[in-house]
Amino acid sequence: MCLGKLYVDNHSNPVLENVTALVADGNQLKCTTLFGEEEIYTGKITKIDFNKSEIFISKEKI
């Protein structure tokens, strides 16, 4: 099983681990973990590295 790690604004430490799903709806990104936790971020996906299971997003400035 390949679970993702979510990084925000190029920080070196993931803000969320064990990500099993990511749904993009406009500028909202809903992330779900293996344990059923859900986090919603406002921003956009900047990079996904499938080899390293890394997801990078940039948060929108409000």
Query: For residues 20, 24, 28 and 32, what is the CA-based torsion angle, rounded to 10 degrees?
Result: -10
Supply the pLDDT for residue 2. Answer: 78
Residue 57 burial (CB count, 10 A) = 23
Domain that holds residue 35: 4-59
- Spell out the alpha helix ranges (H) of the chain: none
Instruction: Please tell me the pTM assigned to this model.
Output: 0.88
- Quote the DSSP letter at residue 60: P
Domains held by the chain: number:
1
- Average pLDDT per block of 10 residues along the chain, 62 residues long: 89 95 96 96 95 93 60
Supply the pLDDT for residue 39. Answer: 95
